[in-house]
Structure 1
């Protein structure tokens, strides 16, 4: 019987090829999007789910609040671990310190490794919270002595190739030329997905033998660094409210007088293990991979849901529209003894067959879509995830759900016909079924209309962001960064001199980061105007006397700094106003207090955007390199090129690199950044959203228009005799086309009316993230509405004009 069901189903699908094709295309698009987006969500949701007692593991993070705003870091003060380790709410407390050595040597085989990443200093408690499998070494006394290190299997194979884990135990590695460290353990790398990517675990007491010795000994409560991480495993009966109260008490107890005076506050809190992969406020440990974004995943899920629903709507619309054509078949089947249940199974079988065909096509298409959606696909995700049992089960459930949503209502409609009425040819179309098709069509085009409006407005905002004047020169500027281990200024100056000899270079500056970057160096300054003491946060940019020339910063009053090391400031307009000055000239010659030092203001520069346009301009100052010879804040050579055109750019870049290699001959750490690319990277997320909307808009229009085409084909086929009669009575081609188009275009217009406020609300909410934004213009809605009407009219006219052009003799011959 089941074989017979599928045989009849296949025949019916082949009999109505156009409708079947429309249904398959709609469902394939929806299922493909669902499969790929489902893979992305599953991949990101599966990070660090394998740890034992994962619900009890938390990272302690820090949030800072002040009258000027707030910011967050994933690190804590080094003093916090000792303050909470005896608290009964905690089962285990473990801090670790992230430090990247400049060099690691295995002198036994003569190998050298520069700047290895994912190195931490920690203690035995770390391995109580996170369960690593030990391949070699004594696990009874982990990392309690100085100068011990535990390596992962991968890192051990780098340092000691072709050596078994047990033979590596006891061997020595030399860190930063002088620190001899003994390997005491080898652990297996996590097989499952994890954000804990650390490869070397050096015993915490070893920090006392490094440049960080004073920090470790002092454990200053007012010194918070992202490198200092703290994890806790709370007890099974822990009171989280009590833990937070203890954190708050400690923060208040150790708050310094200046923080109290100026309304600044530090708050410690628990971040759950499951939140680390998604919370961009605190970040993950491998920034090169990027971080999952919950809001983006939600948007992706909504896109997949809408596309799938659009495909299901096409199925419902076309199948209910065809109901009258299959009425006689149903009447005869009932006469021959078929029950309604059997008929429902028959029609659900047809639906399931279409869904299976669509699913097979979707799986084949998904491999290509993973590449197409590479901006959204995490780095480690691959097509092989389709073999995962959870994914297979999810696909089966999804296919059954789509089959039910698409096929159950049409099956009920098809099997409801009365046998006697059908055989007497009394099969009038129910008013409710017509209304349902209209509602579903309006819903389809409302979704498509929302996507069109959102695409135009998001694209307009991104154009505004990228074209807005940043307040400094951004074109034809490159920054070459010195090697990370380079602490002296002399080689940077030699390199700068070599670059000045290149004729294609217009200007050179030795300094810190460019005016706009992701790096932040900030402090607090105080100005006393004789009556009031004014406190202000202040961000620094570091540069020599040519810095303002290279970036063409506008000096409104005074001058730039006199030389690299003199202690003086060039503040921006925002800082000027914050300190109480009305005019730039008023600030010149005044002094501010910075770390108990009196620093003069020698210039005021025009405001410029230090970050993306999501944030306001902050108080900022240009300063020199004050801490020589102990260390230098100058880490880059900024180069302004003579020409902004791409002609000759490659040869100029080659000369810049050659000059670098001649100065830093032993370094392979050549890093160059284009300033305009850095600014574009501020808006990576927005550009991803824009590309997602482009795809969603195109696919939703395609599905909706295909469904509309199917309904138009059905309607014109039903009204073919009416069209013939109207032509015989003298109706023109335009009148007939207008008659047939009017009903559908009204539905599209209604969809526009519904979609406009929804799109306006959504985009208004999205724009709240930006301090500077474009206006939501009326013309955008008008253009999107006309565009949708045009698409619909084009699709409708394809069939209606064909029907209106037909010879009426052919349609009326049977009369």
Structure 2
């Protein structure tokens, strides 16, 4: 029976090649998008699901609330670690570790030192009880129970000791930053499954007290929180969650700062489930990559996939119900020979399944191409090989079956409902309900297409606005170099600055902290008392020498430059000046912020500039010198202005800069970054969205237009004789074209009327996330409506004009 169904289905597909091709292409586009998007969702939702009792594991993070809003920190204050281990009930265990960034690791057997080893942590002894590593060598019970011990993953062991067996590596010595000596006591396998725990070197926590992290690891201040301090807990059971949350809340309240409470600032500890770790945009992860999973984007992608699949199904339904009268005699004969309605429905479902199966095969090829197109925006682990995973294969099969049922069931019911007597007497007419359904589906298709078009134009315009808007400081021809941050020697940095100052291709050189706009933030809480009230706020600090503001083109509105690098003085930005209530910048100069030892005079007011992406508003900021130089220097970055007029000399300037770098830091890697490229990274997510929308728009318009073309072809072929009669009676090609197109044009215009407010509402809400944004101008909607109308008219006219231009004698000679 099934063999006959497939044989008949194949014959019908071959008989209607054009309509079958339209259906196959439409479904293939939808399926390929669904496969790729499904792969993305599957990839991100399967991180760290393999750990034992993963549903009981939580990371404790910190949330700060104030009248200005909430701030999030993935770390905790160090005293909480001992408090949780000793006094919090309802836990099986807890573990803490500190993320580290040593500048160098070496061994007497190395031919050279390895610079900047990534994914290094200092962990307590419970770390390996918490996560189930496979041990290749060493004793897990005592591996990091003592100081000066380190565990390597197999990847890092092979890198450091490529010609040694794992057992022979045990006992080798690794020295970090020329000061921390460790003995290798174990080798573990890297996790085979997807995980955010990508650490390669796990050093015992006691060892960390000998490193640059010693002050952090022994910090007993409850009001000090660092993102490097990570704390994880495992509950006894799910019922323990409310109890543990209550205990953490009590601990936070018990150790709150009285000064903070005075100003309405509070701290709470949040328990982040392990399954949310990969999506914790507010807290981040510690895998040291730029890729960040985003739940809202994944949900948006799923909607795009659903719409594209739906558009393909609509084409199938429309074309097959439109063709119903052509297959009426076949249905009548089958019913007369004894076929039941159930058998006929199954016959059409098998036809649909065969078309969907062919589309599925084609979609796999398209999916491979799409993955290459989006390679810049997806993580390395997301590759075509994931299609061989059993879950993905099952998902693809289920999707093909669902699409077959969705696309074929209604046309099957329509076709199988014809009465044999009416069919054989040529009395089969399309009912108004079927015609209305087709019109409704066409409108729906073009609503989706126009929403995508409007969104693509508006989002592209916003991204262009973000990239071109003046940040408030100079960004062209400026690069910066971060010095090894574990080397606290200011002397070396000043030597490097002097060497760079002699390079003729460099116009200006400055030593300071981070660039004016960066991901790094230094801030402090300050209080200004004007005699009547206290104004407390967080003040961001920008560190730089006397050349810094000039290099970046940041002008002073009032006051003077800093006297030198170490005197405690503020040059505040205009936003902070307004917050303090001064009418003009000049009024702020000479005022004192803070009291007692914390009193700092305002000596100048500088122009506002954006410290981060234009999603954020400008925050209160002060430009300062290197106040803490005796303990550690904040001047860790060299800022260089290249000769803007001669960009062809830039490679030479960078080469000479590298030579100077190597003369001062011969063991460290040289890396130069352009400030404009740094700013571009702020909008990586938006650029990804633009690319996705562009493709979604192309696909939706293509599918919709293919469906429209199919219906136009069907309609014009049915009205050939009518066209012939009208031509004989004097109708022109323009009149005939308008006659054949007007019904479809009305549907396209109706779709635009519905799509415009839907798109406006979605885009308006999306733009609210940006402190700086463009307007939703009327022309965006007008261009979209006009463009899709013209495109639809062109597609329709191709067929209608070719039909209308034929000799009417040929179409009427059978009468």
1:7-406 superposed matches below 5 A: 7-85=7-85, 86-108=87-109, 112-236=113-237, 238-406=239-407
Scaled by the length of structure 1, the TM-score of the pair is 0.97
**Mean CA deviation greater in 49-58 or 325-334:** 325-334
Output the CA distance in 2 between the equivalents of 1:488 and 1:213. Answer: 18
Q: Retained in 1: the 8 A contact 2:115–2:669? A: no
Structure-2 residue corresponding to 1:711: 711
Question: C-alpha displacement at 1:574, in angstroms?
Answer: 1.0
Q: 1:215 to 1:638 in 2, by over 3 A?
A: closer
Q: Which runs of 5+ in 1 are unaligned?
A: none
Q: 1:140 to 1:687 in 2, by over 3 A?
A: closer
Structure-2 residue corresponding to 1:670: 670
Output the CA distance in 2 between the equivalents of 1:761 and 1:723. Answer: 44
Q: 1:645 to 1:769 in 2, by over 3 A?
A: farther
Q: 1:381 to 1:595 in 2, by over 3 A?
A: farther
Structure-2 residue corresponding to 1:734: 734
1:452 aligns with 2:442: no
Output the CA distance in 1 between the equivalents of 2:355 and 2:305. Answer: 19
Give 3-state SS (helix, strand or coil) of 2:271's partner: strand
Give 3-state SS (helix, strand or coil) of 1:145's partner: coil
Output the CA distance in 2 between the equivalents of 1:376 and 1:34. Answer: 17
Output the CA distance in 2 between the equivalents of 1:486 and 1:140. Answer: 35
Q: 1:271 to 1:555 in 2, by over 3 A?
A: same
RMSD: 1.7
Output the CA distance in 2 between the equivalents of 1:503 and 1:138. Answer: 58
Question: C-alpha displacement at 1:712, in angstroms?
Answer: 0.3
Structure-2 residue corresponding to 1:419: 420
Structure-2 residue corresponding to 1:463: 464
Give 3-state SS (helix, strand or coil) of 1:288's partner: coil
Question: C-alpha displacement at 1:555, in angstroms?
Answer: 0.5
Structure-2 residue corresponding to 1:544: 545
1:576-655 superposed matches below 5 A: 576-593=577-594, 596-643=597-644, 646-655=647-656
Question: C-alpha displacement at 1:71, in angstroms?
Answer: 1.6
Map Cα deviations across residues 303-343 of structure 1 (whole Å, 9 max, x no partner): 11111111110000000000000111111122222222222
1:455-534 superposed matches below 5 A: 455-534=456-535
Q: 1:324 to 1:565 in 2, by over 3 A?
A: same
Output the CA distance in 2 between the equivalents of 1:220 and 1:152. Answer: 34
Give 3-state SS (helix, strand or coil) of 1:701's partner: helix
Output the CA distance in 2 between the equivalents of 1:242 and 1:640. Answer: 57
Map Cα deviations across residues 149-200 of structure 1 (whole Å, 9 max, x no partner): 2222222223333322223333332222233322222222111111001122
Q: 1:43 to 1:706 in 2, by over 3 A?
A: same
Output the CA distance in 1 between the equivalents of 2:250 and 2:596. Answer: 27
Output the CA distance in 1 between the equivalents of 2:127 and 2:734. Answer: 79
Give 3-state SS (helix, strand or coil) of 1:47's partner: coil
Structure-1 residue corresponding to 2:684: 684
**Mean CA deviation greater in 502-511 or 205-214:** 205-214
Output the CA distance in 1 between the equivalents of 2:444 and 2:242. Answer: 46
Question: C-alpha displacement at 1:594, in angstroms?
Answer: 7.3
Q: Retained in 1: the 8 A contact 2:179–2:211? A: no
Question: C-alpha displacement at 1:354, in angstroms?
Answer: 0.8
Output the CA distance in 1 between the equivalents of 2:646 and 2:776. Answer: 34
**Mean CA deviation greater in 109-118 or 584-593:** 109-118
Output the CA distance in 2 between the equivalents of 1:251 and 1:644. Answer: 57
Q: 1:171 to 1:326 in 2, by over 3 A?
A: same
Q: Retained in 2: the 8 A contact 1:548–1:560? A: no
Output the CA distance in 1 between the equivalents of 2:596 and 2:93. Answer: 38
Output the CA distance in 2 between the equivalents of 1:704 and 1:181. Answer: 65
Q: Retained in 2: the 8 A contact 1:535–1:579? A: no
Output the CA distance in 2 between the equivalents of 1:622 and 1:436. Answer: 66
Give 3-state SS (helix, strand or coil) of 1:519's partner: coil
Q: Retained in 2: the 8 A contact 1:483–1:670? A: no
The alignment of Structure 1 onto Structure 2 pairs a total of residues equal to 814
Give 3-state SS (helix, strand or coil) of 1:496's partner: helix
Q: 1:199 to 1:602 in 2, by over 3 A?
A: same
Q: Retained in 2: the 8 A contact 1:96–1:120? A: yes
Question: C-alpha displacement at 1:619, in angstroms?
Answer: 0.4
Output the CA distance in 1 between the equivalents of 2:171 and 2:808. Answer: 97
Output the CA distance in 2 between the equivalents of 1:217 and 1:378. Answer: 36
1:786 aligns with 2:783: no
Q: Retained in 1: the 8 A contact 2:291–2:378? A: no
Output the CA distance in 2 between the equivalents of 1:312 and 1:500. Answer: 66
Output the CA distance in 1 between the equivalents of 2:219 and 2:663. Answer: 42
Map Cα deviations across residues 747-774 of structure 1 (whole Å, 9 max, x no partner): 0011011111110111111111111111
Output the CA distance in 2 between the equivalents of 1:594 and 1:661. Answer: 45
Question: C-alpha displacement at 1:10, in angstroms?
Answer: 1.6
Q: Retained in 2: the 8 A contact 1:476–1:644? A: no
Output the CA distance in 2 between the equivalents of 1:93 and 1:137. Answer: 23
**Mean CA deviation greater in 684-693 or 650-659:** 650-659
Q: 1:289 to 1:687 in 2, by over 3 A?
A: closer
Question: C-alpha displacement at 1:142, in angstroms?
Answer: 4.3
Output the CA distance in 2 between the equivalents of 1:500 and 1:241. Answer: 61
Q: Retained in 1: the 8 A contact 2:29–2:366? A: no
Question: C-alpha displacement at 1:218, in angstroms?
Answer: 4.1
Give 3-state SS (helix, strand or coil) of 2:727's partner: helix
Output the CA distance in 2 between the equivalents of 1:200 and 1:332. Answer: 76
Q: 1:190 to 1:87 in 2, by over 3 A?
A: same
Output the CA distance in 1 between the equivalents of 2:342 and 2:458. Answer: 50
Q: Retained in 2: the 8 A contact 1:524–1:594? A: no
Q: 1:527 to 1:638 in 2, by over 3 A?
A: same
Question: C-alpha displacement at 1:598, in angstroms?
Answer: 1.9
Q: 1:182 to 1:667 in 2, by over 3 A?
A: closer
Give 3-state SS (helix, strand or coil) of 1:648's partner: helix
**Mean CA deviation greater in 79-88 or 104-113:** 104-113
Question: C-alpha displacement at 1:214, in angstroms?
Answer: 4.0
Map Cα deviations across residues 9-59 of structure 1 (whole Å, 9 max, x no partner): 222111111111111110110011111111111111111010000000000
Output the CA distance in 2 between the equivalents of 1:495 and 1:87. Answer: 51
Give 3-state SS (helix, strand or coil) of 2:279's partner: coil
Q: 1:376 to 1:406 in 2, by over 3 A?
A: farther
Output the CA distance in 2 between the equivalents of 1:109 and 1:744. Answer: 74
Question: C-alpha displacement at 1:140, in angstroms?
Answer: 3.2
